[in-house]
Amino acid sequence: MCSFSCACNISIMWHVMFLLQGYHSLQSYRVAHVLWNQGRTVLALALQSRISEVFGIDIHPASRIGEGILLDHGTGVVVGETAVIGNRVSLMHVLLDKLL
């Protein structure tokens, strides 16, 4: 689940559950990961491909991701097959609003 102790613009849980693409992509990854571990690799890769298309976040089903992950502004995030992300990690993108 998402941590509210960081300096994010997240104020209420329903906002996270229904609107944030990082949350949706992580939950979909977890389904794909289970399929991958069951040997249903084609279905897992098909789901991963759809997640990447819809959310712009590419997480390979064989990667290992812990609990309590926050993907803030997740568009363009790529997590490869051999990646390991531990528990309670926040992945943030640096966004620039203006050219200096």
* pLDDT for res 2: 46
User: Residue-wise pLDDT tens for the chain (100 aa)?
Assistant: 444 455 555 566 666 666 778 888 999 999 999 999 999 999 999 999 999 999 889 999 999 999 988 887 788 888 999 999 999 988 877 665 555 5
* pLDDT for res 34: 97
Alpha-carbon torsion (8, 11, 16, 18), positive or negative: negative
Helix 41-55 × helix 21-37 angle, to 10°: 170
